[in-house]
Structures are given as structure tokens and as C-alpha cells.
Amino acid sequence: MLRTLLPALLAPCLLAACVNETVIPEATNAAAPRRTVASAAPTPPPAPVTEFDGQYAGRITLNPDRSRACPAAPASDLTITVKQGRGSFLIDPANQRVLVGTVGSSGDVRMADALDRTIATTGIFDRGRFIGEHKVGRCTYAVSMSKRD
């Protein structure tokens, strides 16, 4: 009943709204006035942060966790290279596994594996040092590196 009652009640209101309209304006060939809109030039991407560029070397150490068995940390120094604001961490030299990421303006970075995003290193570059954390699945490692001259 509501389906038939509602349109019946609205019909007079809709017709009353059209009472004063008598003629539909005709189309003309005259050009409509052009509106000028200042075109905004696309903003260029921000320049890379180069303040932290260089090579950082140091060790990673396993954060102890009694609930799971994690692989031991490498015994040798590892290297992070920052060039034009892009960090690359050669985490597994034998297999050429490299984590990559962009360094932010405050020195923060997240470098991750291209295929497995659960393998990642996060941290911050500050005063010639890199301090961070490396994760492989649920295993975590502390990362501490110094800038080489």
C-alpha cells in the first residue's frame, strides 16, 4: 500500500514545481563564454635525501627469545650503502640478498626484500651511525653500524 500511496502524494508537488516553466531554452551556435582556469603545473617529486649517503658497516646480533629457535647472526660485518637517498642492505652476501628502501628526511628507513616483505630492516641514521632492527619472520636482530669514511 505504501508503494502506491507515496507516489500519489508526491505527484501534485512535482507538478506544482513545473508550473512556471513554459519554454525550454533552445540550443544556439554561439560559443559559450570560456572560463579560464589557471593550470597548475605538476609538482616535481621531492629531491632525494642525500645527507645520510655513504657506507655503514657493523654487526647484527640476535635478540634472545626463548620461545623459538632463530638462525645465528652472521659472524662478519655487514654493509648498508646509502646513495641518493636509497638504502641497500646486503644482508646475505653469499646469496646476494639485498634489502632496499628510501631514507626519509629525518634519517628513518625501512629496507625490505623485494619478494618477501617479512624480511626487513628498520632504523634510523643519525650522527654517522645506523641503529635499527632486522626481522626475519618472527626472529629479530639488533643492528648497529658506523659510517665509514
Could you tell me the domains of the chain?
A: 54-147 (2.40.160.90)
Q: Which residues of the chain have pLDDT under 50?
A: 6, 14-15
By C-alpha distance, which of 78, 86, 34 is closest to 59? 78
**Mean pLDDT across the chain:** 82
Q: For 27-44, b where at least 16 C-beta lie within 10 A, e where not — what string?
A: eeeeeeeeeeeeeeeeee
> Looking at residue 34, what is its pLDDT?
61
Alpha helices in the chain (DSSP H): 2-17
Residue pLDDT, tens place only, 100-135: 999 999 999 999 998 888 899 999 999 999 999 999
pTM here is: 0.67
> Looking at residue 35, what is its pLDDT?
58
